[in-house]
Structure 1
Amino acid sequence: MAQCLQYNFSTTPYIDSHIHLYEYGEEAEKLCKEIHYIFLAVSDDIQSSLKTIEIAKKCSNVVPSIGFHPWNVKEPNIDFKQFENIIKTYNVKFLGEVGLDKKFVSETFNVQLHLFENLVAMAKDYELGLSVHAPNAWREALEVLRRSGVKIAIFHWYTGPAELLREIVNEGFYIGINVAAKIQKKHLEIIKIAPLESIVTESDGPYNYRGLVLGPAMLPELIALIAKIKNVDEKTVREAIWRNFYIILKNVGIC
């Protein structure tokens, strides 16, 4: 599963670096066969991780990512050995969605931190990339990553402070720009300050954000929005996003 994607490299794809494909049910396989898209398909627990892997087996433009969403953390007895077995069995190269959350589930933060630290250590050991969820815990997540020495991490749907964004970028990590930017003013500010060479696009589909059902079909509109804010043409943005994502893939041993 770690081989290079079977993609037509003569064209520039749209990159969806964070999508919950398993939530699309029977539509997932149809969606992932969109020839102009490449997906990093994230998971929320062991069961969804296995579903994501099965989808990726059928779709040559899907990178499977196994994870445990901080919203699902209830108790500390997570079976880390099971995660490790999945990584080795299926040659998985990405962990996500993983992270910390002080905004929506602050009451379980200590358990979240225990889980996140162990999964990040696993990512370091196996040279994996990470898709990191960290609302109101951006600093804490960055510190865990720094201590671990991992090389590849995408800060999914970043809405943290500008000064911390600069630290994230200086560490060589990436900023996930979500299609919800069209209605989220705070995220628009992130587009303004995030360097083009440090961003990747994402949908977080099929998440419902303020009545807007997010999905990869919105990525062309996001590219246009980024181009307008950055005062460059859309082709430049698409090529930059693809270049960034291709570097990510190479650094985790895919391509």
Structure 2
Amino acid sequence: MTYIDTHVHIDFYPNPYDLALEYEKNKIYTLFVTNLPELYEKHFSRFSNFKYIRLCLGYHPQVSTEYVLNKTLFEKYIDTTRYVGEVGLDFFSGIGDREKSIQIEAFRYVTSPIFNIGRIYTIHSKGAEREVLDILIENEVKHAIFHWYTGKISVLKQAAEKGYYFSINPKMLMTKNGLNIIANIPVKQMLFETDGPFARINRNPIHPTDIPKLYSAVENEVVEFEKVCFSNFRRLLIEKDL
């Protein structure tokens, strides 16, 4: 069995390097997302030479009011990776126009055509699914994964028509909306994520050894999900180089 985890915050676990070794030992292809270019720089030397783990250069929208996007660092490291994330927009309740503008400017920048060719993005879109999709289309981003999608089905279908992927996590199996979203994702565009350590199971952070049983849970909704996910991930890796 070959497992994939397209979205995990390894550096938010108590012992990140030990967790990375656990992913390697279990041969789980993993996208290690970061929240800032500064964090990518911090982790680069230690986490960039794994076989199964890919370190992603990120700028999380939820930190945009505290940390200005360091464009110098982003440009310095963009050529060291084919994976960008976590990036996107988060228009949470009560967010002001200024904060939205900051997020939009940063997202437009990190997804711009000078950066996006041959790269895969893992995307945060909470409360801003329409705006995220519009920017991806505007910048002609070819390869993106909507992480833990929670928006309208109409926007999901438009994103799917553009060829974008969607990563499913176990928490989505626990809500009516989550199950409805899974049912509307084209099978050929489904991937898996843990979003660890944030998407917990029985209040416990998810670890690599939990992933086989989590795949089994998804298979109650998606037939042969393990084969589906691996096939889709392999296709996405090929597509990014075309």
What is the TM-score with the length of structure 2 in the denominator? 0.88
Correspondence list, 1:129-168, <5 A: 129-168=120-159
> Which residue pairs with 2:229 in the alignment?
241
How far apart are residue 130 of structure 1 and its match? 0.6
Q: CA-to-partner distance for each residue in 1:93-133, whole Å, 9 max, x for gaps?
A: 01100000012672321100010000010565543111100
Measured in 1, the distance between the counterparts of 2:65 and 2:113 equals: 21
Structure 2's unaligned 5+ residue stretches are: none
Measured in 1, the distance between the counterparts of 2:19 and 2:202 equals: 22
Measured in 1, the distance between the counterparts of 2:147 and 2:61 equals: 13
Indicate how the Cα distance of structure 1 residues 213 and 100 shifts in structure 2: closer, same or farther if over 3 A, else same: farther
How far apart are residue 185 of structure 1 and its match? 3.0
Indicate how the Cα distance of structure 1 residues 186 and 100 shifts in structure 2: closer, same or farther if over 3 A, else same: same
State whether residues 176 and 200 of structure 1, in contact with CA within 8 Å, keep that contact through their aligned partners in structure 2. Answer: yes
Measured in 2, the distance between the counterparts of 1:65 and 1:241 equals: 20
> Which residue pairs with 1:227 in the alignment?
219
Give the aligned residue type for 2:87.
V
State whether residues 124 and 148 of structure 1, in contact with CA within 8 Å, keep that contact through their aligned partners in structure 2. Answer: no
Measured in 2, the distance between the counterparts of 1:55 and 1:183 equals: 36
Measured in 1, the distance between the counterparts of 2:168 and 2:117 equals: 26
Structure 1's unaligned 5+ residue stretches are: 1-11
Measured in 1, the distance between the counterparts of 2:125 and 2:168 equals: 14
Correspondence list, 1:161-200, <5 A: 161-200=152-191
State whether residues 98 and 116 of structure 1, in contact with CA within 8 Å, keep that contact through their aligned partners in structure 2. Answer: yes
Q: CA RMSD in A?
A: 2.3
How far apart are residue 173 of structure 1 and its match? 0.2
Indicate how the Cα distance of structure 1 residues 181 and 59 shifts in structure 2: closer, same or farther if over 3 A, else same: same
> Which residue pairs with 1:7 in the alignment?
none
Give the aligned residue type for 2:214.
L
Q: CA-to-partner distance for each residue in 1:152-207, whole Å, 9 max, x for gaps?
A: 00000011111211111100000110121243332121112212111100001111
Q: Secondary structure at the match of 1:98?
A: strand
- Percent identity between matched residues is 26
Give the aligned residue type for 1:171.
K
1:81 equivalenced with 2:72 (yes/no): yes
2:10 pairs with 21, 24, 32, which one? 21
2:89 pairs with 64, 84, 100, which one? 100
> Which residue pairs with 2:36 in the alignment?
45
Q: How many residues align?
A: 237
Measured in 2, the distance between the counterparts of 1:14 and 1:211 equals: 22
